[in-house]
Amino acid sequence: MAYLFAVFGESIMAENVITDKVVGKRRKKRSRAWDHFSRKTDSDGNEKVVCNYCKKEYFADTKEHGTTSMLTHISKCPKMPYNIDIRQSRLAFQPMIGGNKGDVVVVPWKFDQEECRKALCRMVIIDELPFRFVEKEGFKQFMKVAQPCFHIPSRTTVTRDCFNLFDEEKHNHRGEDLGKSISKCLHEWGLHHIFTVTVDNAGSNSVAITELSKQLTKWGTNLMGGSHLHIRCMAHIVNLIVQDGTKEANVSIERVRQAVRYIRQSPARWKKFQECCEDENLAKKSLCLDVPTRWNSTYMMLKRVIEYEGAIVEYADRDIGLTLHLKFVDMVDKNSTGTLLSSDWEGVKRITKFLEMFFNLTLKISGSRYVTSNLHFLEICQVGVYLNQLISNEDHVLAKMAENMKEKFDKYWGDTEKMNKMVFIPCVLDPRHKFITLGFALRKMFGEKGAALEIGVRTYMESLFNEYTKPVDSDKNGQFSSTEVDTSDSRSVDSRSGGEFGNFFEELQKHTSEKGGASSKSELVKYLDEEIEVGKSNFDVLLWWKVNSPRFPILSEMARDVLSIPVSSVASECALVLEDAYLIRLGVH
């Protein structure tokens, strides 16, 4: 800048001091923009500033226009000697994919502020760093050395960027992408034989399973064309069914909810409620307030409230504030007394009993330490029959709830053509039920269609069993099943299958396979012809098949695969995550 000062020294010194027109004082310019601009007056008498490098003009009145446009121009001026064109591609070195350690390739690279911000977000997420990490002095010093052009965002901006990145990744999770990702993981883990996949009812999951089925077909391990690959999460379906039923507004439930909320809002009220519990000889337990969008929490609240009915009634007599609170909330009912009536308690008890079945059902099917697939369809059938009975109930609230739930129930389990037949086979492989129980349940649930569906299940089960009687071959990935045995005898037979011996051993092997297949197929017939086992409360179906595996070697292998199917994915939106429910499960199991 020495030559600039020599040429324009006097003018710059003169321009650095201006006259304040309002107060008549002279003040020094403080903005760094004046180091790169000069003043001028155009033909109309307007004061302007000119860039010292590219000669671009801006208005000079700092009170009206400020110096923002000047500062912005400095960072983008193409002739500014201190500026670097960050848009220009440069050469960079990147590790070579598939190469040896230390191998690199030369690629074009250019600085991109937005891409750097995304990379920063990924680093914060992957390394689980706090958002304030970007404001630490050490990181700032590092970035000044590594990339001075990068403008470090604040922790608030990084937080917002992380949420935006999450939304962007979530929208990209299409069914095809999910299917490819699952296939990639399975291949890396060496898992090429997949029997079933249990997922919830999102549309993208259905597409993902279809893509996975195509990949299994390429591997040569897609059993029966993947017709039973997709298992819908029962807990998720039950959750959707009950949510549709509980949409019906119920005044009694709302009054109970408001009463619980009022008591829990103040330590003084809670102390008074504890005194009421002592007078009623009730144990001191907390009243739980529900989340209206979670039916299981509503059930837990109502169940606890019923236990403390006497204490709540006593509290209402002692605290007039509860009555006023209920009157204010229940403004729709002009004749409301502001108290919990006997009809409210009766309605709450009926609804609680109604929800209890679905609550226990969800606990039962969400288990992970015992077989659940053999009870799957029987539980479905019980729900369907129960809803049909409640639709004609005299209680209009329960009848309306049951009607809404039955509509959602039929969406998933009402069409026999769309149901996965693998749902029925575990029931048949339970020696306490077989087709005797299944046939009764099908006719009970589907009426005349039940008999035709039973025939279809028999046919499907025979086809599945035939898959297990086929000789085991290596798949396209060179993977063999654990049941294949490669002995020296079999190798010697294969070596003599041609040449001077002709086709004798090939025909002999085919004859043996056919006869052995017919003999093995009789395992299924023999199992179905036997009498059913007497039901016991502690019956272990896996232990039964383990003991009887010498009699049914192939069928027991099929039973092992079928009975291990999880009927619930235990997704966060359908599992009962309440602490009380979790303790109940621990106590039972």
The Cα 556–Cα 563 span in angstroms is 10
User: Is 50 exceeded by the pLDDT of residue 204?
Assistant: yes
Residue 426 reports pLDDT greater than 90: yes
What's residue 212's pLDDT? 92
| % of the chain at pLDDT higher than 90 | 19
- Tell me: the pLDDT tens digits for 360-370? 888 888 777 78
In angstroms, the CA 452 to CA 454 distance is 5
CA distance 232 to 198: 6
* Residue-wise pLDDT tens digits, 217-264: 999 999 899 999 999 888 888 888 888 877 765 777 888 888 888 898
With a cut of 80, say whether residue 507 has pLDDT above it.
no
Over residues 491-515, mean pLDDT: 55
Q: Give residue-wise pLDDT tens across range 430-454.
A: 999 999 999 999 998 888 888 999 9
* SS3 assignment, position 95: strand
Radius of gyration, CA atoms only, the chain: 38
Q: Which residues are bridge partners to 17 per DSSP?
A: 28
Taking alpha carbons only, the member of 72, 75, 34, 77 closest to residue 55 is 77
Q: Which of 38-52, 256-270, 321-335, 476-490 has the highest mean pLDDT?
A: 256-270
Instruction: Return d(Cα 231, Cα 201) in angstroms, integer.
Output: 9
Query: Tell me, what's the pLDDT at 331?
Result: 61
What's the pTM? 0.59
Kindly tell me if the per-residue pLDDT of 156 is higher than 80: yes
In terms of phi and psi (left: phi > 0; alpha: psi -120 to 50; beta: otherwise), the region of 419 is beta
pLDDT digits (tens, 9 = 90+) for 273-288: 988 988 888 887 788 8
CA–CA gap between residue 319 and residue 314 (Å, rounded): 9
362 contacts 391 by C-beta, under 8 angstroms: no
- Interatomic CA distance for residues 310 and 253, integer angstroms: 17
In this predicted structure, the answer to whether residue 483 has a pLDDT above a threshold of 60 is no
DSSP state of 394: S
Q: At 513, phi and psi to the nearest 5?
A: -65, -40
* pLDDT score of 515: 57
CB under 8 Å to 22, separation ≥6 — which residues?
A: none
Strand partners, 26: 19
Among the ranges 296-310, 451-465, 474-488, 510-524, which has the highest mean pLDDT value?
A: 451-465
Q: Read off the pLDDT of residues 525-583 as tens digits, 9 standing for 90 and up.
A: 999 999 998 867 788 999 999 999 999 999 999 999 999 998 887 643 334 433 333 32
The whole-number average pLDDT for the span 54-72 is 77
> Which pLDDT score, from 0 to 100, does residue 99 have?
61
Half-sphere exposure in the Cβ direction for 465 (13 Å, CA): 27
Distance (Å, rounded) from C-alpha 559 to C-alpha 552?
10
Check residue 294 and give its pLDDT: 76
11 has a pLDDT exceeding 60: no
Query: Sorting pLDDT into bands at 50, 70 and 90, what band is 18?
Result: very low
Q: What is the mean pLDDT of residues 67-73?
A: 81
Strand 197-199, strand 230-232: pairing: parallel
Distance CA 379, CA 390 (A): 17
Cα 461 to the center of its chain, rounded Å: 32
Please tell me the least confidently modeled range out of 54-58, 88-92, 157-161, 231-235: 88-92
Contacts of 118 (CB under 8 A, 6+ apart): 161, 165
Q: Which tokens in the block code for residue 62?
A: 């700092």
Q: Give tens-digit pLDDT for 368-405.
A: 778 888 888 898 898 888 888 888 888 787 888 888 88
Q: Which residue has the tokens 């290596």?
A: 474
Higher pLDDT, 585 or 108: 108
How many CB atoms neighbour CB 220 within 10 A?
Answer: 13
CA 297 to centroid of chain Cα atoms: 20
**So what's the pLDDT on residue 134?**
92
Number of Cβ within 10 Å of residue 451's Cβ equals: 12
Give the integer Cα–Cα distance in Å for 422 and 229: 9
Alpha helices in 87-136 (DSSP H): 113-126
State the pLDDT at residue 88: 57
